Amino acid sequence: MRLLRGQGPRGVALGVLGFLMLAVSVAVSADLVVGSRDTARRIDETQALIEADPRTLGQVQRELLRLELLLRERARPADVRLGEQFVTQRVRESALPKQRDVLGSQALVQEAQEVEDRWLTQVRPYVRESLGKGDRAADARLAAIEGISRLEEDYNTLAAAGEINRRQQAAAASETTADMLWDMRRMLVLLSLLFIAGIAFTVIGAWLLVRTNRHRLSALRNLEELNEELTFYSRVVQATDSALVATDRMGHVTWVNEAFERTTGYRLDEIRGRRAADFLTGETTSREVLRQIDEAGARGLPIRTELAQYTADGEEFWVSLDLSPLHSDAGELEGFFGVLTDITERHEAEELLTAARQAAEASAQEKAGFLATMSHEIRTPLNAVLGLTDLLLLTELDEEQRDYTETAHQSGNHLLALVNDVLDYSALEAGRLEYANQPFSMAQLLDETLTMFVANAEAKGIELRLRQSPDVPPALRGDAMRLRQVLVNVVGNAMKFTEQGSVSVDCDLVGSPWGHRLEVVLRVTDTGIGIPRWRIPDLFRSFVRGDASSTRQYGGTGLGLAISRRLVEAMGGTIDLESEVGVGTTVTIRMVHDRVEEEPPPVPRAAQAVLDHSERRVLVAEDDVVNQKVVVRMLGRIGIVPTVVENGREAVEAVRTGAFDTILMDVEMPVMDGLRAVRLIRDTDLPVQPWIVALTANALSGDRDRFLAAGMDDYVSKPVTLDALSGALDRSRVGHVAG
């Protein structure tokens, strides 16, 4: 004090100022020490956040996965509803506004709200709709499963983004802490210089300390915000059931979450620095998938794939791997971040479905083979029954003999119709039927169809009527053969169940007759026994008939209407039935056809009349003795004496040694089958190639096209009739003339 007094007012002022500055310096130094301790505490908190795992989105993912499994396994509606409620609750919790304090980022809150909206408006309605029945419920279940899978991907993406942000924020926090520590060390040096250099430098030191304190406070505020975000992201990573792994640019593991440790059984300290492919793969892991992962890693590209992995105990499990590259701010590749989702149950379900599909395909093949064999075996003796009775009816018979023969012939035709119905139904079930789209005449089709029933109508005393609107164009485009098959079934039923009265077929056009697309309505009305209203919905099901009494009286397989509905719907039309017991039945067929500007080409005149075949040289290749007799007798009725061989080899030798203009070739024969024989004949250098007709009991869908593709010119299925055989010979004559 004495020294200060001796300096005068200015010295006293400087001394007091210096003392105050020194005191302020000491106080700031003490505050700096306290701040250093607080910084160390903050650093410890940041490190704890880095090592912690968040737990929010995983609960949503877990409930989504459970709901997806319930839908895939077709669980009880109550279980599905409960799963849907759990998902809704978790999704809403993850998107509440109060989560802003946990998320630390409004962008993340917005993203969670958008995901919530997609669940409530897009996916949940499908889940609820899938609880119903029918095709619509099945479609809704598939749509719900697909939507849930996309939601799972959204939450995986959110978890991955959280992890990336957490690591970036941790890096930023570390950088801020390092800067602050550097400033603190610089301040300590300045304080030392202040004490050494004097009062003048003390003022500068005090100013720097104040500045540093402000910077420290700002850094601490930033650190608190980062800590809040890191806390949220840590909970997200902690709660997710997906295994997360981070690697360096060479693929060496640098970090995994707890879900990874639980799933694989490997702890982070055991695998840090190792490549995941070195300890997670096994004998069933696809080497091709590993190669694709390595290629994507070498090019720094993301990849998503599925592969088999193995736990530390050697247990196999399947994962969906999403591998994304991590880049620095400068764009340099720093490493990779992978999300592994356990899909073991889904993979096992897919394998079961694959096995079931293969078993179903094998069963379908066995069924097709059985039907083909049974068709062939049944048609072979039917050929003899129908052929010989057909020939017998052309001979002189007394009234009793003709009655017996006609009864046998009708029974054979009925049996053939039953076989055809079963074969058509089988082909429809397997989706093997093909449909044509060719010009045809509706008037000709109707006339030909009703002509088939004229004799039956006259025998029963039933009036058979046909009315066609003049608005129906002369030529339409469609499948005339399938439409004729439907009409034969419907008109045949009407004739069968009508004992008196009439059967009418009406053809009308709906709408303008000048358009390109025309709707044609066919109505078949009878005055038969009728059908109870409660039975009508079942009539279009397979093997369903009106009632037991009608079945015993009128017979039938119950397939006619089922086949007709499938054929009509496959061609884009509809078929409906109205009936009243004791009044009659009306079947309405609605079809849409394209107008054809030109009429269908007329049938060649040579094919319209029975031609003279007496000078024809015909070769018959048939191994069955009875069928040989049938064909030879039929050919004899039209003036042909054929040459008969018993197998394909004999047929080839006969063609090489003699001139034949027509060959009736069976397909299935001993020594050499008909297809092989046809190929050899076609390869033989002949002056004129014979016209080869496949005369076979193979009558499944596609057989005709298969035989024509093998080199045959025509096809006639067994049992063969005299008219069918004559028609084939007529066509062979026309074919030779055209050739």
Question: How far is residue 233 CA from its own chain's centroid?
Answer: 38
Q: Confidence band (pLDDT; 50, 70, 90) for 180?
A: low
Give yes or no for a contact between 50 and 166, defined as CB atoms under 8 angstroms apart: yes
CA distance 564 to 682: 40
pLDDT higher than threshold 70 for residue 585: yes
Whether the pLDDT of residue 135 is over 90: the answer is: no
d(CA 8, CA 556): 136
Mean pLDDT of 265-287: 87
pLDDT at 610: 45
230 versus 470: which is more confidently predicted? 470
Say whether pLDDT at 437 is over 70. Answer: yes
Cα separation, 489 vs 563, in Å, equals: 9
Question: pTM for the whole thing?
Answer: 0.40
Amino acid residing at 717:
S
Q: Is the pLDDT of residue 648 over 60?
A: yes
What type of residue is 479? Answer: D
Length of the chain: 739
Which residue would you say has higher pLDDT here, 242 or 164?
Answer: 242
- CA-based Rg of the chain, rounded to a whole angstrom? 45
- As a whole number, mean pLDDT of residues 670-679 equals 92
| 3-class DSSP string for 219-235 | HHHHHHHHHHHHHHHHH
Task: Dump pLDDT digits (tens) for 181-225.
Answer: 676 677 666 666 666 765 665 667 667 667 777 888 888 888 887
Report the alpha-carbon distance of residue 318 to residue 349 in Å, rounded: 12
Task: Tell me what pLDDT residue 603 has.
Answer: 44
What's the confidence (pLDDT) of residue 426? Answer: 58
Do 195 and 205 touch, CB atoms closer than 8 A?
A: no
Residue 334 backbone dihedrals phi, psi, to 5 degrees: -105, -25
Q: Sort 83 into a burial class: Cβ within 10 Å, 0-12 / 13-18 / 19+.
A: buried
pLDDT digits (tens, 9 = 90+) for 528-538: 888 887 777 76
Q: How many helices (H) and strands (E) does the chain have?
A: 25, 17
Q: Is the pLDDT of residue 654 over 70?
A: yes
Residue 3 has pLDDT above 50, yes or no: no
> Largest alpha-carbon pair distance within the chain?
167
498 in Cβ contact with 526 (< 8 Å): yes
470-524: per-residue pLDDT in tens? 888 888 888 888 888 888 888 888 888 898 899 999 999 887 667 678 899 999 9
- The mean per-residue pLDDT over the stretch 405-430 comes to 64
Q: Give the span between the Cα atoms of 159 and 136, in whole angstroms.
A: 34
Q: What is the pLDDT of residue 520?
A: 92
Euclidean distance between CA atoms 42 and 531, whole angstroms: 88
Query: Phi/psi at 643 (nearest 5 deg)?
Result: -95, 135
Compute, in degrees rounded to 10, the torsion defined by CA atoms 207, 213, 214, 219.
Answer: 150
Q: What is the pLDDT of residue 8?
A: 45
Lowest-pLDDT range of 34-43, 174-183, 348-357, 488-497:
34-43
pLDDT exceeds cutoff 90 at 702? no
Q: How many angstroms separate the CA atoms of 534 and 529, rounded?
A: 15
d(CA 680, CA 684) in angstroms, rounded, equals: 6
Least confident of 12-21, 143-152, 441-450, 721-730: 12-21
Angle at 554 between CA 553 and CA 559, to 5 degrees: 135
Query: Which of these, 580, 596, 578, lies nearest to 588 by C-alpha position?
Result: 578
pLDDT for residue 21: 61
Nearest in space to 443 (alpha carbons), one of 387, 520, 357: 520
Mean pLDDT calculated for residue range 307-318: 88
DSSP secondary structure string for all residues of 669-692: -SSS-HHHHHHHHHHS--SSPPEE
Band (624; pLDDT cuts 50, 70, 90): confident
Whether 545 has a pLDDT exceeding 50, the answer reads no
Residue 273 phi/psi, 5-degree rounding, is 90, -5
Whether omega for the bond prior to residue 719 falls within 30 degrees of 0, making it cis, is yes
State yes or no: pLDDT of 29 exceeds 70. no
Q: Do 587 and 573 touch, CB atoms closer than 8 A?
A: no
According to the model, what pLDDT value does residue 544 have? 45
- Helix axes of 77-94 and 106-118: crossing angle, nearest 10 degrees: 160
Q: Identify which has the larger pLDDT, 499 or 455.
A: 499
* For residues 76-94, average pLDDT: 82
Q: Is the pLDDT of residue 130 over 90?
A: no
CA 486 to chain CA mean position, Å: 31
Q: What is the percent of the chain where pLDDT is above 70?
A: 69
Average model confidence (pLDDT) across the chain: 77
Find the mean pLDDT for residues 256-272. 87
pLDDT one-digit tens code per residue, 359-382: 776 776 666 556 656 665 666 676
Q: Can you tell me the distance from the alpha carbon of 272 to that of 321, in angstroms, rounded to the nearest whole number?
A: 19
Note the pLDDT of residue 608.
Answer: 40
Name the pLDDT band for 558 (thresholds 50, 70, 90). very low
- Mean pLDDT, range 385-413, rounded to an integer: 74
> 102-121, pLDDT tens digit by residue?
555 677 778 777 888 888 88
Question: Predicted confidence band at 423 (pLDDT cuts at 50, 70, 90)?
Answer: low
Express each pLDDT in 154-176 by its tens digit.
877 776 776 676 666 666 666 76
* Nearest-angstrom CA–CA distance, 600 and 438: 9
∠444-423-453 over CA atoms, to 5°? 35
At 588 the pLDDT is 93
| pLDDT at res. 352 | 87
Higher pLDDT, 365 or 261: 261
Range name among 86-95, 118-127, 130-139, 329-338 with the lowest pLDDT average: 86-95
Tell whether the model's pLDDT for residue 548 goes beyond 50: no
- Give Cα separations from 320 to 106, 173, 306, 686 (angstroms): 30, 33, 4, 65
Share of the chain above pLDDT 90, in %: 9
User: What's the average model confidence in pLDDT over 4-28?
Assistant: 55
- pLDDT value at position 35? 58
Q: Is the dihedral of CA 207, 208, 211, 213 positive or negative?
A: negative
Residues 6+ apart with CB under 8 A from 131: 77, 80, 81, 137
| Range name among 303-307, 361-365, 718-722 with the lowest pLDDT average | 361-365
